[in-house]
Structure 1
Amino acid sequence: MTRNVLIAGAGPGVSGSLARLYASEGGRVCLLGAEDGVLEALRSSVESLGAAAATAVVDLTDDAATRTAVTRLAEEAGHLDVVHFNPSAYREKDPLSLTPDELLDDVRLGVGALLTLVQAARPFMGPGGRITATGSMAADTPWFGAASLGVQKAGLQNLVRSIDNTLKGDGIRAVSVTVRGMLAKEGAFAPDNVARALRAAADQDESAWQSEIAYTA
């Protein structure tokens, strides 16, 4: 099955593996990210697999710029089958040093940007469309030393559930995959394996749909 896929927060890790996984099936891969060099390298790897690719450099916390970028890429693609949300902010501060403004800045990227992405992509999605997100065990077992990450991942998981309930009547489903382990170069938590888990979550049977799936070793 060929699909048009939009990946937000695209980079060399899990999102890059996911881009190449979808590219291997054909279709079109649209990449949103913050660094031009990273996007161009990923674009080249996608195109080397025979898929069409398009990129946009954008600060995902900039609502207007992100909406413009999503609309442009979606119009070029014609429609979107899968929208994937990957970004989060890692700030090594515990609750006694983290400021409210820093927390809000991080949540704006790791959670709030999903609202922008979904609202901008929705006009280009139809029945069978899927929204996926990279979750983390930090949602319910946070490390105090990076307190904002746990808040982001808990909020992401919650928001994905709300998005799924909002769109399921239109045949569009949303799911977050909670990665219960540390990402590594090899093994179960290597980016390619996590990407396959995200791909499988998008393909789950709609009659038994789960809006949050745990990925473990």
Structure 2
Amino acid sequence: MKLAGKKALITGGNSGIGLATAQLFIKEGAEVAITGRDQKTLDEAVKLLGPKAKAYRADVTDSAARKDLFAKIAKDFGHLDIVFANAGIAGQTKTGSTDEAVFENIIRINLTGAFFTVEAAVPLLNDGASIIFNGSVIGTLGQPGYAAYAASKAGLRGMARSIAGDLAPRNIRVNVVAPGATETPIWSRNERSAEEAGELAKRIASTIPLGRFGKVEELAKAILFLASDDSSYVNAVEFFVDGGSVGTPFGGPAFRG
């Protein structure tokens, strides 16, 4: 098992990529702390994950809640070997019609919250630990209407590289996993009908060189690689798991003659 004896924290571990990663980490021998803001989904996640998981309801942007969270993790886990800073939100911020509060909230959750999650975790990290931020291809590709989201994910890339330098004396590696379009519950959490969502998914899939969305299990395997000793000489990188969307953006079925 690749994570035998390891202790991991996954923020936003109650659904989607975070939950799939928690499942794989546990299968590989880790004990896992997950966080989320919804008690119902946290309870469901812990039931699914079993006795090697513990859930904490917490908002990573709330400094008091964060302090309480890490006090509980210190008590329950003692130390950490892995932090997957996964919690984040999407949201449209179209230029010319965006409310300032909406823009700032996306940055606060995706970027500021991720930084202070790691800031709070550092005293609990063992030397040689692994930190992984959840980025996005949108931090590199220019998608209209998503300025704040793109800024937050591009910011994670730059921030991770600086943190990697800060923590290098302790042999703590810091990397970013950057998913492309992935099958997660977020696709059902919007104002589109099922038919509209299906058509949008088809259009997006047609632009991806592999011609499909990624699966959360595929993302989890990439995150496991960054968390484990398999990536012991991988540091300060952005690891795209996107079916080729960034590397060959005109390679999808929609662009083929």
Q: CA deviation at 1:23?
A: 1.0
Give runs of ≥4 in structure 1 deviating > 4 Å. none
Q: What TM-score, normalized to structure 2?
A: 0.77
Counterpart residue type for residue 192 of structure 1: E
Q: Is the 8 A contact 1:5 1:30 kept in 2?
A: yes
Q: Which residue of 1 aligns with 2:224?
A: 199
The whole-number CA distance in structure 2 between the counterparts of 1:8 and 1:123 is: 17
The whole-number CA distance in structure 1 between the counterparts of 2:231 and 2:152 is: 28
SS of equivalent to 1:130: strand
Shift of the 40–128 alpha-carbon distance from structure 1 to 2, 3 Å rule, reads same
Q: Is 1:21 equivalent to 2:24 in the alignment?
A: yes
Q: Which residue of 2 aligns with 1:211?
A: 237
The whole-number CA distance in structure 1 between the counterparts of 2:24 and 2:234 is: 24
Tell me the alpha carbon deviations over residues 147-180 of structure 1, each in whole angstroms, 9 at most, x when there is no partner: 221111111111111111110111111110112x
Counterpart residue type for residue 218 of structure 2: N
Counterpart residue type for residue 46 of structure 2: R
SS of equivalent to 2:55: strand
Identity %, equivalent residues:
25
For structure 1, the 5+ residue unaligned runs are: none
Larger Rg: 2
Q: Which residue of 2 aligns with 1:58?
A: 58
User: What is the CA RMSD across the aligned residues, in angstroms?
Assistant: 1.9
Q: Which residue of 1 aligns with 2:156?
A: 156
Shift of the 198–75 alpha-carbon distance from structure 1 to 2, 3 Å rule, reads same
Q: How many residues were matched structurally?
A: 213
Q: Which residue of 2 aligns with 1:189?
A: 214
The whole-number CA distance in structure 2 between the counterparts of 1:209 and 1:116 is: 20
The whole-number CA distance in structure 2 between the counterparts of 1:188 and 1:125 is: 34
For structure 2, the 5+ residue unaligned runs are: 185-211, 244-257
Q: Is 1:134 equivalent to 2:137 in the alignment?
A: no
Shift of the 208–39 alpha-carbon distance from structure 1 to 2, 3 Å rule, reads closer
Q: What TM-score, normalized to structure 1?
A: 0.90
